[in-house]
Amino acid sequence: MDGRGCEDYRCVEVETDVVSNTSGSARVKLGHTDILVGVKAEMGTPKLEKPNEGYLEFFVDCSANATPEFEGRGGDDLGTEIANTLYRIFNNKSSVDLKSLCISPREHCWILYVDVLLLECGGNLFDAISIAVKAALFNTRIPRVRVLEDEEGLKDIELSDDPYDCIQLSVENVPCIVTLCKIGYRHVVDATLQEEACSLASLLVSVTSKGVVTCMRKVGKGSLDPESVFEMMETSKRVGKVLHTSLQSVLHKEESLGPKRQKVGFLG
Amino acid sequence: MPGDNRRIRGPEESQPPQLYATDEDEVPAARDPTRLRPVYARAGLLSQAKGSAYLEAGGTKVLCAVSGPRQVEGGERGGGPAGAGGETPAALRGRLLCDFRRAPFSGRRRRAPPGGSEERELALALQEALEPAVRLGRYPRAQLEVSALLLEDGGSALAAALTAAAIALADAGIEMYDLVVGCGLSRAPGPEPTWLLDPTLLEEERAAAGLTVALMPVLNQVAGLLGSGEGGPTESWAEAVRLGLEGCQRLYPVLQQCLVRAARRRGAATPP
């Protein structure tokens, strides 16, 4: 409809470090879709089954500004659906190195609260959210802490004095979601709202930069032909690789500009 | 949901004794990766529901009931995922409401009744898989309620719930394009990824990745797909989907027989 090929994304704008109170943040604009993600790192107790690891908690808020459907509690269902999908794609050992989030086993660990805000809804929410989460995690700086032990065995946590002494998470294996909407006999990447309305079923694939798939889900009221499922998976692998390489290069370029870069913020 | 006064929740902090047990690594027994556990299915067992079904596959026991179609106030646009506008107005299409619950004693650890986000996610997966099969256009302004109760989790619970829900809908006489058959798969960790069809609870817990496929056998259309875990490349997932679809086709005759038997029972019960 807007002259794109079936596998082309709309123009994506990514900006990190937009909110100063967070440990990491990112804002993504994909066409008319606008997402803001903030990551806060807090200390807590590790889960009982995994005493040597920290964990991530996701929360998605569909603000009423996004579309009139989200007024009141209308956006809650969609928010829980997106949060559950995010839990699923991060629910494996290789996406984020959770062991690096451990401070002392069984007692303290870092919990990363990833909060996603939907500012404007213009189609293809899952892709934009996953790009924003990856950018925010890349931007996250977790302060270094040390556990000091007294003679009596009392433990004390010491935060390092230098505010720039931080751990950075490696986002090499963080997956991105590619949503393929089936319209007629073909499938389309990055559908706008109107294209999504024409499509009866879509396949959501979360793929890492190496082509490893971490989650697969069918969304929508219609059914899919098995052959198109296989085709869509191949397309998602191809598209995912391209998306990852371009995202990595943009993030690295932005970081290399350092503190002198011009922040566009919300008015750009 | 905080403050649920209707149910006895038990103390806030309690753990099962198994957590403190010495780690005995129970390795699941090697088996043929394409074997399906024997399935027992029965339809029409609840007297109060319009349609019902009970499905047992290995250790997994699911009970599903369908009620409706019930008239619902029109004009209320459910806040679904973006893109709900532009189709036939929501008031003219019927709605399918799915609910998935686990009994507190179904798994290894006791789960207090308001199960939370996992159950809502599975309920949404149930709805997305059943919608393509049900002719909702024939029930304008009506609502169908499907509720699945997992009595015991013995592996591939979502697949069993899907199948039971489809049988219950058919038993209730709801117009459908085709039955929906669900099949679970899991991938064992290790260097050679082999996908196992219809995993047991032990295999599922030790798995690196899990997948549930729902197929409409006669139309040969994939109605639902939900999978996650440490992937392999896409070829490995494609192989798993193929295996799952094959498993669904093999399960279909059992369900056909179950529905025929239920219809005969109903015919014999009502005297001519």
**How long a stretch of residues is chain A?**
268
> CA A18, A20, A25: angle at the middle one, nearest 5?
45
The reported pLDDT for the residue numbered B271 is 64
Q: B8: how many CB neighbours lie within 10 A of its CB?
A: 8
The reported pLDDT for the residue numbered A262 is 61
Q: A249: how many CB neighbours lie within 10 A of its CB?
A: 10
For residue A192, the 8-state DSSP code is -
Buried b vs exposed e over A126-155: b needs ≥16 C-beta within 10 Å? bbbbbbbbbbbbbbbbbbebeeeeeeeeee
Residues A141 and A143: their CA atoms lie apart, in Å, by 6
Residues A230 and A128: their CA atoms lie apart, in Å, by 24
Contacts of A92 in chain B (CB under 8 A): 208-209, 228-231
Evaluate if pTM is beyond 0.90.
no
Residues B251, B179 contacting (CB under 8 angstroms): no
Domains with residue ranges and CATH for chain A: 12-258 (3.30.230.70)
Per-residue pLDDT of chain B (272 residues; tens, 9 = 90+): 566 677 776 677 777 777 677 666 677 777 888 888 999 999 999 989 999 999 999 899 999 999 988 888 755 544 444 344 444 455 578 889 999 999 988 888 888 777 778 898 999 999 999 999 999 888 888 999 999 999 999 889 999 999 999 999 999 999 999 999 999 999 888 777 788 899 988 888 888 889 999 999 999 999 999 998 886 788 888 889 999 999 999 999 999 999 999 999 988 887 66
Nearest residue on chain B to A91, alpha-carbon basis: B229
Tokens of B26: 């129970």
* Position B52 in a domain: yes
Helix (H, G, I), strand (E, B) or coil at A19: coil
Work out the minimum CA distance from B267 to partner chain A, whole angstroms: 33
Residues A94, A117 contacting (CB under 8 angstroms): no
The reported pLDDT for the residue numbered B83 is 40
* CATH number of the domain within which B115 lies: 3.30.230.70
Query: Please, which residues have CB within 8 angstroms of residue B239's CB and are 6 or more apart in sequence?
Result: B195
Helix (H, G, I), strand (E, B) or coil at B210: strand
Contact between B86 and A194 using a beta-carbon 8 Å cutoff: yes
Of chain A, the end-to-end C-alpha distance in Å amounts to 26
| Continuous segment of H or E residues that includes residue A89 | helix A75-89
Radius of gyration from C-alpha coordinates of chain A:
20
Q: Please give the distance of CA A232 from its chain centroid, rounded to a whole number.
A: 22
Q: Is B22 exposed, middle or buried (0-12, 13-18, 19+ CB in 10 A)?
A: exposed
* Position B10 in a domain: no
Contact between A212 and B124 using a beta-carbon 8 Å cutoff: no
* Position B129 in a domain: yes
- Strands of B170-246 (E only): list them: 181-187, 195-197, 209-216, 221-229
pLDDT tens for A47-74 read 877 888 888 999 998 877 777 766 666 6
Contacts of A76 in chain B (CB under 8 A): 79
Residues B159 and B126: their CA atoms lie apart, in Å, by 9
Asked whether this complex has an ipTM greater than 0.90, the answer is no
Contacts of B216 in chain A (CB under 8 A): 223
Contacts of A201 in chain B (CB under 8 A): 132
Of A70, A226, A233, the CB nearest to B234: A233
Residues A21, A134 contacting (CB under 8 angstroms): no
Pairing, β B95-102 against β B60-71: unpaired
The reported pLDDT for the residue numbered A166 is 81
* Position B137 in a domain: yes
Mean pLDDT calculated for residue range A213-228: 89
Contacts of B208 in chain A (CB under 8 A): 92
The reported pLDDT for the residue numbered B262 is 92
DSSP per-residue string spanning B77-89: ----STT-TTSS-
Contact between A88 and B228 using a beta-carbon 8 Å cutoff: yes
Domain span at residue B178? 36-71+91-267
Of B82, B208, B231, the CB nearest to A123: B82
* Position B106 in a domain: yes
Residues A102, A22 contacting (CB under 8 angstroms): no
Helix (H, G, I), strand (E, B) or coil at B69: strand
* Position B80 in a domain: no
Residues B50 and A197: their CA atoms lie apart, in Å, by 33
Best interface-test mutation with B: which of A47, A87, A216 has the largest number of B CBs within 10 A? Answer: A216
- Judged by CB atoms within 8 Å, which residues 111-170 of B form the interface with A? 117-118, 120-121, 124-125, 128-129, 131-133
* Position B234 in a domain: yes
Nearest residue on chain B to A234, alpha-carbon basis: B234
pLDDT tens for A121-137 read 888 889 999 999 999 99
Work out the minimum CA distance from B25 to partner chain A, whole angstroms: 15
Work out the minimum CA distance from B81 to partner chain A, whole angstroms: 6
Contacts of A208 in chain B (CB under 8 A): 231
Residues A193, A2 contacting (CB under 8 angstroms): no
Residues A180 and A62: their CA atoms lie apart, in Å, by 22
* Among B240, B238, B210, CA closest to A237: B238
Pairing, β B39-43 against β A166-168: unpaired
- Judged by CB atoms within 8 Å, which residues 9-38 of B form the interface with A? 15, 19
* Position B7 in a domain: no
The number of folded domains in chain B is 1
The reported pLDDT for the residue numbered B4 is 66
